[in-house]
């Protein structure tokens, strides 16, 4: 059985191997492709809810109260 630690170790090794073999930019593209593939498969299996994710990332201005303006600083009195 694969644990998260084992999977992280394998992915870290694969990233460093791609970095050495192809260069840093290509290794980042490999990570991006893996993340997109993971998101697609998670969505297809029902593990990823896009409406929940959209609600977390983009807060509607009507639902969040406006922030009050900053209070002006009082001037020190010199005698």
Cα(11)–Cα(27) distance, integer angstroms: 11
List the structure tokens of 10: 């394998």
pLDDT tens for 5-62 read 888 888 889 889 988 998 998 888 888 888 888 888 888 888 878 788 777 777 655 5
| pTM flag (> 0.85) | no
Q: What is the 3-state secondary structure (H, E, C) of 31-76?
A: HHHHHHHHHHHHHHHCCCCHHHHHHHHCCCCCCCCCCCCCCCCCCC
């Amino acid at each position: 059985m694969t644990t998260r630690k084992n999977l992280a170790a394998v992915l870290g090794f694969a990233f460093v191997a791609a970095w050495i073999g192809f260069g840093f930019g290509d290794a980042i593209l490999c990570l991006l492709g893996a993340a997109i593939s993971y998101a697609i498969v998670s969505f297809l299996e029902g593990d990823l809810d896009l409406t929940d994710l959209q609600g977390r990332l983009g807060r509607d201005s009507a639902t969040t109260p406006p922030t009050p303006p900053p209070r002006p600083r009082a001037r020190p009195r010199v005698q």
